[in-house]
Each structure stands twice: as C-alpha cells, then as structure tokens.
Amino acid sequence: MAVVIFDTFKGHTGSEMESLRLENNIISVIVPSNCTDVLQPLDLFVNKPLKDHLRSKFQSWYSEQVTKQMNDGKQPEDIEVDMKLSVMKPLSARWIISACDYLRNEGGIVRGGFVEAGIREAVDKPESDSESEDDPFADIDEQ
C-alpha cells in the first residue's frame, strides 16, 4: 500500500488515474487549491530544510573558491568563480545526495510534515503496526 498526495490538477483526479490507483492499492489524498502551505507535508517540513542545506553547500563551495583565489593573490575585483554547467552539475548531484542523507539522519523531518499536515493517525501508529507491509508510512523517518 502507498499514499500519494496530489493537488487539484485534473490529471491527478481523472477516472483513469483513479483506476490505476485502485489496481495498485494506492491511497490518494487531494489537497484543496491554495492549501498546500497548510496541508502538504513536504511544504510544511521538508522543503525549507532541504533548500537551506543545499544553499549552505553552495555558499560554502563559493566561499572556498573566492578564498582560494584571494590566497593566490587575486584582487577581489578580479575573482571569477567558474559556474559552468560542467562544473556545477556534479557538485549539485553530490549536494542533493548530501541533503537526502541529512533529511534521513536528522530524525523526524519528513514524519513531522505528515504530523503537521494532520495525517496524524497514519503517523502515530504503534511500532508493531508501522512495520506492517500495509503501512503506507513505513518508509518515512523512523523517529
């Protein structure tokens, strides 16, 4: 069993999608228009820490690039940081992996979004229930 959370986009709510969800034992939750900031678990708890982590990685890297050039004798007005796609793409991939590890290890960030969104009864199942194959939240943070 799985749970998906959709906004009101018509492609999410059509009869064909509903049939696919039923066939695959997927529960859908529709968040009403203009309510994702209150009811969407990722918007409530995950997106800000994720973006903050990525921003911090970029700022540290950028600062290191500037510092290295200044230590090599360049004047601030002559400093150029290479941000071509060929440089940024592998860095970004590492930062995204790091951010996912951070969210996984930071205990409760993802789960907190579901609790804050009011999906409390699914999140607050007793430990014996949360390990069940039928638990749609079994893969969410263990804490």
For the chain, what is the largest distance between any 2 Cα atoms, rounded to a whole number of angstroms?
65
Note the pLDDT tens digit of each residue in 75-109.
999 999 999 999 999 999 999 999 989 888 887 88
Per-residue pLDDT, 130 = 45
pLDDT of 87 reads: 96
User: How much is the pTM?
Assistant: 0.64
Contact between 1 and 21 under an 8 Å Cβ cutoff? The reply is no
Res 115: pLDDT? 81
* CA gap 12, 31 in Å, rounded: 11
Distances 69 to 66, 74, 75, 86 between C-alpha atoms, Å = 5, 6, 8, 20
**Which band of pLDDT confidence, cut at 50, 70 and 90, is reported for residue 138?**
low
